[in-house]
Structures are given as structure tokens and as C-alpha cells.
Amino acid sequence: MNVYHFHIGDYRRKTAHLSHEEHYVYRWLIDEYFLTETPLSTNLHMLSRKLGLTSDQKPLLQQLLEEFFVLEGDGWYHKHVEQVMARVHAKSAQSKAAINKRWEMERELRKANGKDTPVLRPYYGKNTDVIPNQEPITNNQDKKTQCLFDTFWLAYPKDRRRDKKKALATWKRRHLDKQGEQIIADVKNRVENDDQWKRGFSPMPTTYLNGDRWEDELGGEDNEPSDFGKGGI
């Protein structure tokens, strides 16, 4: 993982006692854990070399490992990092399953109605099928935008689909095509797994887009683990 969610407030509250040097070493260990997606090696000599630590700094490394990590047979484990990676992989698996399901539905529709049946799906290039009854498309960029937005709109909870033109204008104004697939996957994930959305408390589409809600944790930030003590970030 080259990118991960980092809660600055929680980190500072739980690591305020660390020196600048300790902060550097600890953050490097966290980055290494996320980058390799494996527990840290029990070979302290190797870790010290990667950090460029001197021999008299090795006790500092040992102290940080014992305070924030848990030693198992095959390495130093970090509770919070493992939780974050598990959520990311679960979301990726759900997105992949949704894509496979969508393609299967498309094959069934084409088999039943003929190969020219237009099917709604995310934009993948020049040959993406046109959504029936959509507004005239002037170029490939407009086509991509319309396909992505319509996929987002149909994925959104039906009872919250209000002010479509306003939402589309927001999408275009904020140039959300680049995040389109991420946004669509997040909406589908929340519809299926977010307790608040299941109870009908999803934001209006325009509010969702303006607030970058796809970057929020599922179910609200208060439900996410934020223990930065023993075994936390």
C-alpha cells in the first residue's frame, strides 16, 4: 500500500511523549509496514540498517517496537495497521465482486436481448456503450463524464436521488472524473455495508460530492478504532 489513512489528532495524542528522533523512527516503521504489507522483521540489525541507525540507537528501536507493536513468531505486528489493511482489502474484494457481477448481468442481457443491447457501466474508453435517453454527447470527455455520473446516480439510494442537475453540475465543476470509479465503488459499498445509509441517513448526492464523503470512514469516524497506545498507531 503506497497510500493510507492517517489520523493526525489521534497520532499526536498517543505519541506526544516521543522525541523528534523517536517520531522519525516510529513513522518510518509504520510506512515500512504499509509498504510491504507484512509484519516487521525480527532482525533488528536489518531494520537498523534500513533506518541508518547507529549501534547506540538500537535500544531506541527496540523500545518503540515493544511499545507500539506486538511480537509474534514471524515478526512484529501492529494492530491498527492490520485493521486498516484488512478494511482496504475487503473493500477491494467487494469492488471486484461488484464488477464481475455487472459484467455477468451484461452478458445475460445481451444474450437475452441481442448483442446491440445498450448496458449501463463505467466508462472504459471510446467503445463504452451509450446510456439510453441520455443527453447528446459532444466529445469523449463529455461521454466519460456522463457515463460515470449516471453510474454514480443509479448506485445512489433511490429515495435520496434529488437535484440531479445540481449534482451533475457539481461533478463537472469539481472535475470528479478521475475519482469517478472510487466514488462509485464507495457509494455501492455504503449502500450495502454502512449502517447509517441502511437506515436512510445518507447525505444528499450534492452534499456527498461537495464534502468528499468517499474519503470518510464507513459508518462515521467515531466508529473507527483510534487506539494509538499498545498495539495502535
Which pLDDT score, from 0 to 100, does residue 168 have? Answer: 94
All three cell numbers of 229, joined, read 497506545
* DSSP code per residue over 57-105: GHHHHHHHHHHH-EEETTEEE-HHHHHHHHHHHHHHHHHHHHHHHHHHH
CB atoms within 10 A of CB 104: 10
Could you give phi then psi for residue 157, rounded to 5 degrees?
A: -50, 130
Between the CA of residue 93 and those of 35, 98, 134, 206, 213, what are the distances in Å? Answer: 19, 9, 31, 27, 21
Between the CA of residue 36 and those of 1, 33, 48, 53, what are the distances in Å? Answer: 7, 6, 17, 20
Which class for 148: exposed (0-12), middle (13-18), buried (19 or more C-beta within 10 A)?
Answer: buried
160 secondary structure, DSSP code: G
Scan for cell 478494511, then name that residue: 87
Scan for cell 443527453, then name that residue: 135
Return d(Cα 125, Cα 148) in angstroms, integer. 12
Q: Locate the domains of the chain by residue range.
A: 8-77, 116-222
Return d(Cα 72, Cα 64) in angstroms, integer. 16
Which pLDDT score, from 0 to 100, does residue 125 have? Answer: 45
Which pLDDT score, from 0 to 100, does residue 85 have? Answer: 85
Which pLDDT score, from 0 to 100, does residue 219 have? Answer: 67
Residue 13, H or E segment: helix 8-15
Which pLDDT score, from 0 to 100, does residue 23 have? Answer: 92
Which pLDDT score, from 0 to 100, does residue 228 have? Answer: 45
- Under a CB-based contact definition with an 8 Å cutoff, are residues 154 and 164 in contact? no
Which pLDDT score, from 0 to 100, does residue 174 have? Answer: 92
Give per-residue pLDDT as tens, 23-53. Answer: 999 999 999 899 888 899 999 899 888 888 8
- CA geometry: angle 102, 108, 113, nearest 5 deg: 125
Q: How many CA atoms lie within 13 Å of 113's alpha carbon, on the beta-carbon side? A: 10
Spell out, as residue ranges, where the chain has pLDDT lower than 50: 122-137, 221-231
